[in-house]
Structure 1
Amino acid sequence: MSYPKKVQLPLTNYNQINLNKNNLLVLYEDMLLGRNFEDICAQMYYKGKMFGFVHLYNGQEAVSTGVIKLLNSTDYVCSTYRDHVHALSKGVPSKNVMAELFGKETGCSKGRGGSMHIFSAPHNFLGGFAFIAEGIPVATGAAFQSIYRQQVLKEPGELRVTACFFGDGTTNNGQFFECLNMAVLWKLPIIFVVENNQWAIGMAHHRSSSIPEIHKKAEAFGLPGIEVDGMDVLAVRQVAEQAVKRARQGLGPTLIEALTYRFRGHSLADPDELRSRQEKEAWVARDPIKKLKQYILDNQIADLNELNDIQSTVKKDLEQSVQFAISSPEPDIKELKRYLFADN
């Protein structure tokens, strides 16, 4: 099965996208940062600098950037085990994410979380989760406390929005349905973002779900379900902008199904032999970073020199991040049990 041949998505109306040059370059830089960060992770993993399971995000950058770059610093993001790029988009410094992957004390989770459990309280990044659907109840709780702060504690200001990311395989799990029901019942300010990359580890999506169109599952609970081209950052942003506005106004949740694709195997331990070469080539031809770059150049928003400067800045930042991680101290063995419980 190959999505480019199977699904016809509505064309994005770029005339309705209110983005200036600075906004577009921020989106471009964020996607470049995510892609290059993951490529370096692969290098470091094969050099023995990282251990355990590492799941990379290559190909899906338009979803993370398109949603998270719309959020405020006070908003929340909840991720999966494919969480590095979500953390970067939310503003967690690349050096602290890299150090976490190296298991160092300077990591955003003090080296205790590793690749699948990135967490940063200062950035309201609620963590990556190793188990399928584990993060959805956590995100639902975060959205509930936003309502509680405003309606019970009478805190001033607008509602804080929670963006909850998960994969297509998760949408056959009971927690997905339970939390959609609660979110609608209590009109929670949450956006459920399904990153449908067509494969749940080694199971093709169309073979595992009785309703392959995940966005249609929203109908059962009475919330909007929207399908979007997850390889187009501007299309994702356009849909997410309406979902964020709806949530912040207290109108409740939205389910967004972003049709995307991971360019690498499920994890760096996966030889990626189950997917056909033709399928992979069809998706790689729709690379979201190349698509945005071409849009910027075609519309003379920025020239090639400016885009190359962004690439150089990202490369330099990641080189410094690797050096920071390598030179950072290991966690002290005497503090092995620290952070297991809250301090008094």
Structure 2
Amino acid sequence: MSPARPTGARKDPVLQKAEKTRRKTGVGSSPGRTTDGHRRDLLEAMLRIRRFEERCVELYSATKIRGFVHLYIGEEAVAVGVNEALTPEDAVVATYREHGHALARGITAEAVMAEMYGRTTGCSGGRGGSMHLFDASRRFYGGNAIVAGGLPLAAGLALADRLRGQGRVTCCFFGDGAFAEGEFHETANLAALWHLPLLLICENNLYAMGTALARHEAQTDLAMRAASYGVVAWAVDGMDVEAVEQAARRAAEAVRAGAGPHFLELRTYRYRAHSMYDPDRYRNKAEIERWKDRDPINRLLDRMRENGVSLDDELAGIERRVAADVDHAVGAAEQAPEEPVEHLLRHVTSAPSEVS
């Protein structure tokens, strides 16, 4: 599946102005890197997410991790490819299926795993758990448990940057199920109306919990629907990390150059059920296997081999590094302290002011 032409791109005078600025100044002119070294980095980043998530399955089954857990296995190309197009100054708002986003953003596996365990060394102090990963130092603003709940927050971050005149992008991830929520339509409308520096990333994995896209949306071309708000939008093969990076870089650079909000529909697939509680009875195994044939990690490996890159020894080294990273994260989480009972009311209400 090759990326479609951006909807409305030829007719958008702001985008044309941004392209003219880019050609004149060189801002945003860096293409997606396709060197062997960069592909190795993409591969390692995806493998780190995959192995982290697989360990989470084991730990959840052993009741070491509790609560709701939504796995990202199969969608790694989206988080890795999009984050490659962002800078440390940009903001990221994610969904409750956000372990991959957090790791791709640079939050350590140790901090994420400790949060999964509910320990004080977690990135949210052990109070958020799987669905509420947060790290303001990396401008990673959740982890939001409510479907589409991150969209208005992202619009607020983007509006703040615009009012301050800061050339930053706010990137908001959400699923296809968010199209059934008013927050998406309100955010898309205001983003276009106020010309916000907002990059909307729809992870279309074809299911809103257990409901297939065609069962909850009359029009399943989500990029076309987003374009109806005056947002430049197009669809991308979300199982191809290089296609994702290229599209995200193009969109992010246009947003940064003043072209207004952009929308990418990344067509991807989760191999696991909606959550660890989900019996996954709404789809058949043949469908899952068809998508596994397009696995983003294997596709990148095949592409590298086709280009003459010998990977056997190097792949083993990458796997060892990733395994050591995940093992260290689990060991650290096992040893990390739980929050004392006397601290449970901290951060719930404001501390009373001292009265002299």
TM-superposed CA distance for 1:210, in Å, is 1.2
Paired residue type of 2:199: I
Q: How many residues align?
A: 327
Indicate the residue corresponding to 2:21 in structure 1: none
Indicate the residue corresponding to 2:23 in structure 1: none
1:314 equivalent to 2:331? Answer no
Q: TM-score, normalised by structure 1?
A: 0.92
- SS of residue in 2 equivalent to 1:110: coil
TM-superposed CA distance for 1:301, in Å, is 4.0
Aligned equivalents of 1:134, 1:219: Cα separation in 2: 21
Indicate the residue corresponding to 2:28 in structure 1: none
Alignment partner of 2:182 out of 174, 182, 201: 174
CA deviations on 1:113-143 (whole Å, 9 max, x unpaired) are: 0001111111110011111110001111111
TM-superposed CA distance for 1:340, in Å, is 2.4
Q: TM-score, normalised by structure 2?
A: 0.89
User: Which protein is bigger by CA-based radius of gyration?
Assistant: 2
Q: What does 1:58-137 correspond to in 2, within 5 Å?
A: 58-137=73-152
Indicate the residue corresponding to 2:257 in structure 1: 249
Contact 2:32 2:249 in 1 (8 A): no
Paired residue type of 1:180: A
Aligned equivalents of 2:33, 2:110: Cα separation in 1: 32
Contact 2:213 2:220 in 1 (8 A): yes
Unaligned runs of 5+ in 1: 1-7, 151-157
Contact 1:92 1:120 in 2 (8 A): yes
Aligned equivalents of 2:289, 2:311: Cα separation in 1: 28
Aligned equivalents of 2:192, 2:281: Cα separation in 1: 40
CA deviations on 1:245-297 (whole Å, 9 max, x unpaired) are: 01111111111001111000000111212111111110011100111111112
Aligned equivalents of 1:21, 1:57: Cα separation in 2: 26
Contact 1:101 1:107 in 2 (8 A): yes
Q: What does 1:99-248 correspond to in 2, within 5 Å?
A: 99-150=114-165, 159-248=167-256
Paired residue type of 1:293: L
Aligned equivalents of 1:312, 1:294: Cα separation in 2: 20
Indicate the residue corresponding to 2:282 in structure 1: 274
TM-superposed CA distance for 1:19, in Å, is 2.3
Aligned equivalents of 1:111, 1:64: Cα separation in 2: 23
CA deviations on 1:56-109 (whole Å, 9 max, x unpaired) are: 000000111110122111111111110111001111011000000000000000
TM-superposed CA distance for 1:187, in Å, is 1.5
Aligned equivalents of 1:142, 1:304: Cα separation in 2: 44
Paired residue type of 2:320: S
Paired residue type of 1:197: N
- SS of residue in 2 equivalent to 1:115: helix
1:288 equivalent to 2:288? Answer no
Alignment partner of 1:330 out of 338, 344, 347: 338
After superposing on structure 2, the runs of 4+ consecutive aligned residues of structure 1 that deviate more than 3 Å are 8-12, 341-344
Contact 2:3 2:235 in 1 (8 A): no
Indicate the residue corresponding to 2:44 in structure 1: 29
TM-superposed CA distance for 1:304, in Å, is 2.2
Contact 1:68 1:163 in 2 (8 A): no
TM-superposed CA distance for 1:17, in Å, is 4.7
Aligned equivalents of 1:341, 1:120: Cα separation in 2: 20
Aligned equivalents of 1:18, 1:11: Cα separation in 2: 21
Aligned equivalents of 2:307, 2:158: Cα separation in 1: 39
Identity %: 42
TM-superposed CA distance for 1:302, in Å, is 5.1
Indicate the residue corresponding to 2:267 in structure 1: 259
TM-superposed CA distance for 1:11, in Å, is 8.9
Question: After the TM superposition, which of the residue ranges 84-93 and 215-224 deviates more from structure 2?
Answer: 215-224
Residue 303 and residue 126 in structure 1: after superposition, are their counterparts in 2 closer, same or farther (change >3 A)? same
- SS of residue in 1 equivalent to 2:129: coil
- SS of residue in 2 equivalent to 1:71: coil
CA deviations on 1:160-194 (whole Å, 9 max, x unpaired) are: 11110011011121110110111111221111111
Question: After the TM superposition, which of the residue ranges 306-315 and 324-333 deviates more from structure 2?
Answer: 306-315
Contact 2:4 2:235 in 1 (8 A): no
Aligned equivalents of 2:32, 2:40: Cα separation in 1: 14
Indicate the residue corresponding to 1:154 in structure 2: none
Aligned equivalents of 2:92, 2:328: Cα separation in 1: 26
Contact 1:297 1:304 in 2 (8 A): no
Contact 2:206 2:212 in 1 (8 A): yes
Paired residue type of 2:75: Q
